[in-house]
Amino acid sequence: MKRLAALALGAAIVGATLTVSLPASAAGIPTTIAFTSTTGVTAPFGSAWDIPIRVTSNSDRGSYDVTTNDGTVDIFVEGMPGEYVTAATIYPGGMVYFAQPSNEPALAAGEYSVTAVFTPSAGSDFATSKTKTAAILTITTIGVTPAAEMLTDPAVVTVPTVRTSLSGQFVDDKGAPPSGTWTVTGTDSSGAEAFAITAEQPTESTEGAVGPLDIPITSELEPGETYEVTTVFTADPLIAPGLEFENPATATFSTPSLTPAEVLSGPVGVSTWIVILNGILFISLIVLLVLFLGMWSRGRVAKPKPAVEEPAVAAAIASGASVAPVASIESSESWSLKDDTPDRE
């Protein structure tokens, strides 16, 4: 009986030992991972930011910090697929510092929920843990101001030129303008596109500073024409989500008209030739019309007016008698009068 009691007591002691040690070996020593700051982190786009995380162990032997060899931390950002940071290093004091990874595009402006998971190393006695409360990361936009002006003074530029520039908080903070491209588009008075030019925005120079960018309009422009110019800055896609800006207003400029000397000495375009030929044809038609009218009026023969007959002649004609010519009657009368003159000798 005593032997059975001893066996039972031994089994109870072994069971109690297993009950205490099994959870620790099967689940591992409990750990806690948490953000050290209860307030959110706010930073302008592209600037440095940091969210500290601490990993500690909690066992019956006390609480202490997890070391570098005990495991790593994965960090998740809401809206980003998978782990945003994988296997972050745990530094002395159980600290992990979450910052913008150099191999990932900068987070765009917005609000993000951040969580972290501690993953123990293989063979470690620690258990996995996850942050109970998320950290809020807020990225604010950073302003940049694009500007453009037209240069048309021949004393300054040889051809019409668009002078562009970038300023604002981004330039002040970074000491250089953001990367991107400029697009200059011009339309004539009819609304048709006359030119389209694209130029890269430099971000640094040999002097260490970047000034205005001049974009000359080298396309052939019509004399005496008015053009509407639209200038658009397009930021690099990697930084565009964090920038806030408005493009410059539309500008206009007019090209000078040709002088008479330039018209005579300059090349004649197809449209000009058409106008000239039309003018020559019109003048030719007018000349031909005048000549035709002149020749037609000369060729017309005037009809003779009927002679006025003497009453006696008219009566004789009416009665059918023969009538001597008027000229003969006149000659006879002249002779009769001459003979009736008395001779005074």
CATH code, residues 143-258: 2.60.40.10
Q: Which pLDDT belongs to residue 156?
A: 93
Alpha carbon distance 199, 183 (integer Å): 7
Dump pLDDT digits (tens) for 92-138.
999 999 999 888 888 999 999 999 999 999 888 899 999 999 999 99
Residues 6+ positions from 46 with CB-CB distance below 8 Å: 106, 142, 170, 173, 174, 239, 242
Alpha carbon distance 138, 39 (integer Å): 11
Q: Which residue has the tokens 């998971």?
A: 117
Q: Which residue has the tokens 């008219």?
A: 314
Dump pLDDT digits (tens) for 261-272.
555 555 555 566
Domain 27-140 fold is Immunoglobulin-like (2.60.40)
Q: Are 58 and 24 in contact (CB under 8 A)?
A: no
Q: Looking at the chain, which residues constitute the CATH 2.60.40.10 domain(s)?
A: 27-140, 143-258
Residues 6+ positions from 100 with CB-CB distance below 8 Å: 48, 49, 106, 107
Residues 6+ positions from 215 with CB-CB distance below 8 Å: 161, 162, 163, 164, 182, 184, 197, 199
Return the minimum-mean-pLDDT range out of 44-53, 116-125, 212-221, 251-260: 251-260
Q: Pull the structure tokens for residue 326.
A: 């008027």
- In terms of Cα–Cα distance, which of 166, 91, 83 is closest to 130? 83
Distance of CA 141 to the CA centre of its chain: 22
Bridge partners of 244, per DSSP, are 143
Q: Which pLDDT belongs to residue 59?
A: 73
Alpha carbon distance 97, 158 (integer Å): 56
Whole-number Cα distances in Å, 167 to 175, 313, 325: 10, 118, 118
pTM above 0.75, yes or no: no
Dump pLDDT digits (tens) for 12-68.
443 433 333 333 334 688 999 999 987 889 999 988 899 999 999 987 666 788 889
Alpha carbon distance 172, 104 (integer Å): 24
Q: Which residue has the tokens 């005074």?
A: 344
